[in-house]
Amino acid sequence: MPEGDRPHAESVVEEAPETAPGEAPAQAPAEAPAEAPAEAPAEAPGGDEPHEEPVEPATTPATPAEPPRDRGRLLRRTTEAGVVLVLVATALVHVLDLGDRTGLAAPDPALEPQAVAPPPGLELPEAPAARPVAAALRGAELDRDAIGRAVSRLAANKKLGRDVAVVVAGTDGVPVYRSGPAVMMPASTLKLLTSLAALEVVGPQHRFATTVVRSGRTLTLVGGGDPLLERAPEPGLYPDRADLRTLARRTARALRSTAPAGRLRLTYDASLFTGPAVNPHWEPDYVPTNVVSPISALWVDEGRDTGGYGARVADPPAEAGRVFRDELRRAGLRVGPARSGTAPQGAGEVARVESAPLVEIVQHVLEASDNEGAEVLARHVALAQGGDASFAGGAAAVRAVLGGLGVRLNRLTTYDGSGLSRDDRINPVTLVDVLAHAVDPDHPELEGVASGLPVAGFSGSLLMRFDDRADAGLGRVRAKTGTLRGVHGLAGVAVGRDGAVMLFAALTDRVKEPNVLFTRAQLDRIASALAACACLA
């Protein structure tokens, strides 16, 4: 028996008798209650006499004492309970700051060194001012000549075509370097304008709702212009997507106790947007060749037939209605075929799903160069301005919002929100001015444009770029790409090796087919030259 578990003096203890070879060990005598008279045990064969005298019997009867084993168990449980109480008390003091609240805790030297009093009699001198650990920037002004030396030779390469425009400015948007034509085809760099206008008038935290309303036996699926609405949940996507399967399940739960017996009628309402679904200023083969979908306030997977980058469907609202009907049936409701219609006045909302915040959708549109998403955002700008949610209405509303912000719009002509139209024209200075508003600390609501730009070599449409003599721009350039047949552009922000922050736009719109890959790489080199430049004046 371990030392700490031996019985106290009340118990009789015998030494174990020696065991002769071939004999079984003698059993130890059973322990008797401490108060009972102890008798001398019988002598075991070959054993010795016990070495202690028997304990005298008690003179008065007493209640039998707790056996030592039970008393030990009680002691252990009491000790364990005490330890638990101490741990709980310590946790409460830590989590609830009870020590600080009651004044019992001493200041933590690691967290509050200023609160720790010096020892008595110790006098400390005043601390001297800390010396700077790095030289201060010489100012925010950019050196025009240094920028010219960095980019002019690259921009002059004849493989870029006849029209090459480069503009570089500081964060105030005022150009310090400029070369090439004043009017260019923007391609997808136009999405910068659409995104900035949407953040300004719709708001970065706005969410687009897709709803189901009911009037009598009729359910209506109402499109709210969610550009990223999907068929079914896809966990892990960024930004989060609302989906019709979740909406159908919520609808079924809401109607379980109130739905009338029999089959329900189903309609879908895509009337939020107006005008043609296909832009007359687009190339006629854009939709048939899956460049872009017909634009609608109600669709799933941006008008693709199976999600991802599948073929576009001819009628996106009808496809959304069919998908929703199937999901309602799967959820246990009896519904008829989905038909086009408008929600009746006074119909009550049954269920809804909501998109991610607009600022996250803007990031997606800029990173993926999402044409459908940009066209939907332009229509929301028109709605916020009280205009028609059409191609023409969206383009006009974007221009109006940017003009109200003070963006220079001279020579700007736009027919859409995505830049797919070859009739769009822009002054590269406008792109730089839009970027200046996006990095302006006085307009934090617009910063989603700058933070949503693809990062050179790391994300979005720049993921596989900046790998051919352009590695100086890796991680130091964020920019929006622009590509149409014969048109290539890059507009964004570059941080020089001396910390200079430069806004730039580089556009070409007369590139011959054999020079497409070279042009793309050369634009990367122009941006990388800015990142490698010590361009502060």
- Which of residues 229 and 30 earns the better pLDDT score? 229
Share of the chain above pLDDT 70, in %: 77
Asked which of 69-73, 260-264, 354-358, 441-445 is least confident by mean pLDDT, the reply is: 69-73
Position 117 scores a pLDDT of 80
- Asked whether the predicted pLDDT for residue 393 surpasses 90, the reply is yes
| Cα distances (Å, whole numbers) of residue 519 to 189, 203, 276, 424 | 16, 36, 35, 21
Beta bridge partners of 218: 215, 265
- Asked whether the predicted pLDDT for residue 323 surpasses 50, the reply is yes
| 334 CB neighbour count, 10 Å cutoff | 11
Share of the chain above pLDDT 90, in %: 70
Position 258 scores a pLDDT of 76
| 264 CB neighbour count, 10 Å cutoff | 18
Nearest to 166 by CA among 504, 521, 518: 504
**Given pLDDT bands bounded at 50, 70 and 90, which one contains residue 115?**
confident
Indicate the average pLDDT of the chain. Answer: 85
Q: Do 518 and 462 meet the contact criterion of CB atoms below 8 Å apart?
A: no
- Asked whether the predicted pLDDT for residue 215 surpasses 50, the reply is yes
End-to-end CA distance of the chain: 87
The SS3 call for residue 220 is: strand
pLDDT one-digit tens code per residue, 17-30: 444 444 444 444 44
Q: Is the dihedral of CA 485, 375, 200, 352 positive or negative?
A: negative
**Given pLDDT bands bounded at 50, 70 and 90, which one contains residue 281?**
very high
Backbone angles phi, psi at 48, to 5 degrees: -105, 165
Cis ω before 239 (30° cut-off from 0): yes
- Asked whether the predicted pLDDT for residue 390 surpasses 70, the reply is yes
Q: Do 220 and 268 meet the contact criterion of CB atoms below 8 Å apart?
A: yes
Position 404 scores a pLDDT of 98
Position 39 scores a pLDDT of 43
Position 42 scores a pLDDT of 41
How far is the C-alpha of 132 from the C-alpha of 155, rounded, in Å?
39
Helices (H), 227-302: 244-255
Position 91 scores a pLDDT of 53
Q: Do 452 and 195 meet the contact criterion of CB atoms below 8 Å apart?
A: yes
- Asked whether the predicted pLDDT for residue 72 surpasses 50, the reply is yes
How far is the C-alpha of 397 from the C-alpha of 38, rounded, in Å?
106
How far is the C-alpha of 93 from the C-alpha of 99, rounded, in Å?
6
What order do you get walking across the sheet with 218-222 strand by strand? 335-340, 264-269, 218-222, 209-215, 348-354
Position 33 scores a pLDDT of 42
- Asked whether the predicted pLDDT for residue 205 surpasses 80, the reply is yes
| Cα distances (Å, whole numbers) of residue 522 to 157, 178, 412, 533 | 9, 17, 26, 16
Position 183 scores a pLDDT of 97
| Average of per-residue pLDDT across 317-338 | 96
Position 122 scores a pLDDT of 84
| 93 CB neighbour count, 10 Å cutoff | 16
Q: Is the dihedral of CA 67, 73, 79, 85 positive or negative?
A: negative
| Average of per-residue pLDDT across 234-263 | 90
Position 99 scores a pLDDT of 46
- Which of residues 39 and 503 earns the better pLDDT score? 503
- Asked whether the predicted pLDDT for residue 96 surpasses 80, the reply is no
How far is the C-alpha of 249 from the C-alpha of 255, rounded, in Å?
10
- Which of residues 97 and 418 earns the better pLDDT score? 418
**Given pLDDT bands bounded at 50, 70 and 90, which one contains residue 188?**
very high
How far is the C-alpha of 158 from the C-alpha of 244, rounded, in Å?
52
- Which of residues 56 and 207 earns the better pLDDT score? 207
- Asked whether the predicted pLDDT for residue 310 surpasses 90, the reply is no
* Strand positions, DSSP E, 454-528: 477-484, 487-495, 501-508
Position 203 scores a pLDDT of 98
How far is the C-alpha of 20 from the C-alpha of 25, rounded, in Å?
8
| Average of per-residue pLDDT across 483-502 | 97
- Which of residues 132 and 186 earns the better pLDDT score? 186
The SS3 call for residue 221 is: strand
- Asked whether the predicted pLDDT for residue 69 surpasses 80, the reply is no
How far is the C-alpha of 419 from the C-alpha of 5, rounded, in Å?
87
- Which of residues 404 and 30 earns the better pLDDT score? 404
How would you write 365-414 as a 3-class SS string? HHHHCCHHHHHHHHHHHHHHCCCCCCHHHHHHHHHHHHHHHCCCCCCCEC
Nearest to 455 by CA among 434, 479, 487: 479
Position 13 scores a pLDDT of 38
